[in-house]
Amino acid sequence: MTFRSGFVAVVGRPNTGKSTLVNALVGRKVAIVSDKPQTTRRGVRAVLTTEDYQVVFTDTPGFHKPRTLLGSRLNDLVGEATQGVEAIVQVVDAKAGVGRGDAYVFERQVRGFAGPKLCAVNKLDLLKNREEVPQLEAAAALGEWDEVVPVSAKTGRGVRVLLDLLAPRLPEGPAYFPADEVSDQPLEVRLAEIVREKALAVTRQEVPHSIAVVVEELEREDSITKVHASLIVERDSQKGIVIGKGGETLKSIGTRAREEMELVLGTKVFLDLRVKVLKEWQRDPKALQRLGF
């Protein structure tokens, strides 16, 4: 029996549901999810291993026309993620409509790729039946695809079909990761991302892009894990929003994050969250380096 394996870049413009789709493909939550654009800031690798194949998906930031140094760095990450992979899956948002942003991603990241190219037409659960066909046709018209696959990452519709079309196109090869591993993210990064996901969920519109999270210290004992983390924003006004009236917002972020961390770690968690201001960090090369970008 032949075993197939390979790396697959999952690309698309911001907010097409790439992270939700990657989580659905591997059957576990690996990448954080939010309805805010530009949630994904790192190339997150998610690993799916079966008896027949191992697929290593790289979930990438939304490819866009950047307005900050952080935006440029995120675009560079997408470019790096599409180098040396066996296949590319471009995710488009059928509800928002396939359009110029998707064409921009295809031209910059997909067209020149020599391997298998699949288009996942996502969010079909939000469409009425007769609205589907025009979106599938618009996706097909973006360029030369090996497959155009209708999916709903949220409900799971079409996810198995996408896998069944993708896996046989991978070359024969070894498993790159142990069978029980689902991500190559260091634990500190996974925990920081959990905090950021919860912060995105509870803060208002003007803060999300400005939030970064760093785990400063991690102490693991048998029955409890102590996590000391900093939520970093760009302005004092944002600090006030993240802390909230009487500390309520920060408390809500901490409670939600701690619950998920306990599931990931299998221990009780003590979470110490602080909010710090790092002025205009998205535009500051030194600050970006310090934050791991």
pLDDT for 64? 77
58-101-201 Cα angle (round to 5): 60
* Helix, strand, or coil (residue 129): helix
pLDDT for 240? 92
Q: Which of 182, 191, 187 is nearest to 27 (CA)?
A: 182
pLDDT for 100? 94
pLDDT for 74? 76
Q: What range defines the domain where residue 155 resides?
A: 4-169
Among all chains, which residue has been given the structure tokens 């090369």? 285
Query: 32 with 155, same domain?
Result: yes
Query: 149 with 208, same domain?
Result: no
pLDDT for 206? 62
Q: What tokens appear for 119 in the block?
A: 């288009």
For each successive 10 residues of the chain (293 residues), what is the average pLDDT?
92 90 88 65 79 90 77 78 90 95 94 96 91 95 97 96 97 93 85 90 75 92 94 92 93 95 92 94 85 77
Helix, strand, coil percent values for the chain (each to nearest 5): 40, 25, 35
Phi-psi region for residue 196, left (φ > 0), alpha (ψ -120 to 50) or beta? alpha
pLDDT for 216? 94
pLDDT for 39? 60
Q: What tokens appear for 88 in the block?
A: 């590319």
Cβ atoms within 10 Å, residue 188: 16
Strand order in the sheet with 44-49: 44-49, 53-59, 4-11, 87-93, 117-122, 147-150
Buried-state track 133-158, b at ≥16 Cβ within 10 A, e below 16: eebbebbeebeebebbbbbbbbeeeb
Domain end, chosen from 136, 169, 202, is at 169
pLDDT for 90? 97
- pTM of the predicted model, to two decimals? 0.78
Query: 24 with 154, same domain?
Result: yes
d(CA 275, CA 278): 10
Query: 228 with 195, same domain?
Result: yes
pLDDT for 157? 95
pLDDT for 36? 64
Query: 160 with 204, same domain?
Result: no
Domain end, chosen from 138, 169, 200, is at 169
127: domain CATH number is: 3.40.50.300
Q: Would 176 be classed as within a structural domain?
A: no
pLDDT for 68? 80
Number of domains in the chain: 2
Q: Would 182 be classed as within a structural domain?
A: no
Q: What tokens appear for 164 in the block?
A: 């069944």
